[in-house]
């Protein structure tokens, strides 16, 4: 039965998974899958979201039937750490992979020359033998005591757990501070929204007052300008009507208009329009008299009188 291999590449930007086919001197990559990562998932050799990594690897293993396969792992950011941190990072990755059922064969540093490059189609087996295997300290030698190796591994696991818990507490504190800042920002935003509403209301009131002031100014100008009143009066006279007489009392401001029109509807419309132009609330029809036809004028005419107060 052929031995199964899985290639796993952990980069700061992605997780690369591939099924390896073992040839004489090469590993051929197939069934490749690339998953985007960010700094909250993995950074410089440290798993910050091991559950996400675990689920992707587990899904890949189940899909390609690679249960209990041997894994070859390359990781970025482990080599520059001190020996203890190298071991802790390697152990964290190994624990995550072992949970998926994989057997760890090799964990090495990803070469800087291959960063931001697409993984090749094959690897020479010698390539991994020449690289430092960070998982070697966790592999007991044939001459070593299994009890010492077990104690050593247990101690590393304990240190890893303590480190993870410390990191969790630090992240929890930062999250609480962020939540507090967010709440304060929301409160400030609500205060600003209330102020904006008040300003908008004040602006509307000012605009409304300005419009009313403009209307009052126009009315005042019209009331103090007889010439303008006469112009407005002449413009409002219908084509089938004539003004015979216009009188205004300077003391009482009473206005009297007499004229002639061809029908009563014209008189009524003229009265309404004239009242709007002169701003006279009391302008009304005082009299409408039907005139007799004569030889020169065959159309029916109506004589009218309008009375009002300016």
Q: What is the dihedral of CA 128, 78, 116, 131, to 10 degrees?
A: -20
Cβ atoms < 10 Å from Cβ of 125: 13
C-alpha distance across the termini of the chain, in Å: 115
CATH annotation of 5-139: 3.30.420.40
Mean pLDDT over each residue of the chain, to the nearest integer: 76
The answer to whether 53 and 17 have CB atoms below 8 angstroms apart is: no
The answer to whether 81 and 39 have CB atoms below 8 angstroms apart is: no
The Cα-based distances of 162 to 14, 159, 253 in angstroms read 27, 5, 99
Quote the pLDDT of residue 22: 81
| 229 compared with 309, residue with greater pLDDT | 309
Q: What is the pTM of this model?
A: 0.42
The answer to whether 22 and 7 have CB atoms below 8 angstroms apart is: no
Question: What confidence tens digit (pLDDT) does each residue in 36-94 have?
Answer: 988 888 877 777 888 888 888 888 888 888 877 888 887 877 666 666 666 667 777 77
Specify the DSSP class assigned to residue 285.
E
Question: What confidence tens digit (pLDDT) does each residue in 98-143 have?
Answer: 777 777 777 777 765 555 555 667 777 777 766 666 666 656 555 5
Question: What confidence tens digit (pLDDT) does each residue in 47-62 have?
Answer: 788 888 888 888 888 8
- Cα gap 243→303, rounded to integer Å: 10
Quote the pLDDT of residue 79: 64
108 in helix, strand or coil?
strand
Backbone angles phi, psi at 250, to 5 degrees: -65, -30
Q: Which helix (H) or strand (E) holds 103?
A: strand 103-109
pLDDT band at 263 (very low <50, low <70, confident <90, very high): confident
Q: Where are the domains of the chain?
A: 5-139, 144-224, 227-309
Specify the DSSP class assigned to residue 110.
P
Q: Please state the CATH superfamily assignment of the domain spanning residues 227-309 in this structure.
A: General secretion pathway protein M, EpsM (3.30.1360.100)
What's the half-sphere exposure (Cβ side, CA atoms, 13 Å) at 146? 0
């Amino acid at each position: 039965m052929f031995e199964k291999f899985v290639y796993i590449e952990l980069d700061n930007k992605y997780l690369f998974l591939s099924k390896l086919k073992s040839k004489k001197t090469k590993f051929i990559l197939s069934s490749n899958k690339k998953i985007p990562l960010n700094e909250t998932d993995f950074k410089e050799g440290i798993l910050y979201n091991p559950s996400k990594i675990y689920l992707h690897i587990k899904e890949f293993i189940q899909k390609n039937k690679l249960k209990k396969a041997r894994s070859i792992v390359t990781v970025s950011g482990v080599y520059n750490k001190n020996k203890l941190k190298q071991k802790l990072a390697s152990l964290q990755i190994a624990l995550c992979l072992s949970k998926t059922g994989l057997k760890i064969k090799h964990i090495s540093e990803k070469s800087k020359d291959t960063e931001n490059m697409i993984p090749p189609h094959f690897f020479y087996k010698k390539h991994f033998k020449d690289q430092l295997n960070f998982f070697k300290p966790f592999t007991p030698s044939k001459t070593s005591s299994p009890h010492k190796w077990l104690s050593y591994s247990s101690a590393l696991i304990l240190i890893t757990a303590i480190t993870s818990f410390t990191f969790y507490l630090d992240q929890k504190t930062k999250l609480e501070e962020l939540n507090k800042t967010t709440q304060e920002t929301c409160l400030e935003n609500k205060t600003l929204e209330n102020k904006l509403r008040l300003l908008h209301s004040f602006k509307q009131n000012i605009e409304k007052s300005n419009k009313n002031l403009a209307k009052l100014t126009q009315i005042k100008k019209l009331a103090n300008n007889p010439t303008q009143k006469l112009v407005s009066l002449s413009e409002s006279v219908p084509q089938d009507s004539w003004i015979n007489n216009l009188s205004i009392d300077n003391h009482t401001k009473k206005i009297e208009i007499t004229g002639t029109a061809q029908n009563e509807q014209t008189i009524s419309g003229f009265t309404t329009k004239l009242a709007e132009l002169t701003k006279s609330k009391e302008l009304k029809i005082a009299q409408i008299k039907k005139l007799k036809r004569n030889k020169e004028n065959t159309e029916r005419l109506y004589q009218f009188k309008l009375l009002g107060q300016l």
